[in-house]
Amino acid sequence: MVRAALADPWLARARASADVRREIPVTLPLADGRVAEGIVDLAFRDEDDAGAVVWTVVDYKTAASGVPEAEGARRLGRYVAAVAQATGEPARGVLLML
């Protein structure tokens, strides 16, 4: 699992970034008045395909975590929204299923 994660192209991009954050606590107000909380595994400033600066939010999930991929994607969407809101910059998400 570790080898697969370290070989992933997204983690190579993270290693090349000058601005990398790990284990970041985030909160996101939801439309129904509740607040979602979580821990972002990894976020780094990167460039999108057009060369614009964007935060890339990476969330790791393992089979042992018991979290279905659809639930992981839902959580990742909230993490991406929280990072974009906190930074005022666009963000995208990457779900690494290991």
Question: Is the full-model pTM beyond 0.85?
Answer: yes
Tell me the sheet residues that pair with 53. 47
The length of the chain is: 98
pLDDT for position 96: 87
Which residues lie below 8 Å from residue 90, measured CB to CB, with a gap of 6+? 48, 52, 53, 54, 55, 84
- Positions in the chain short of pLDDT 50: none
The pLDDT tens digits for 28-52 are 998 999 999 999 999 999 988 898 9
**Whole-number pLDDT of residue 97:** 81
Q: Are strands 35-47 and 20-29 parallel, antiparallel or unpaired?
A: antiparallel
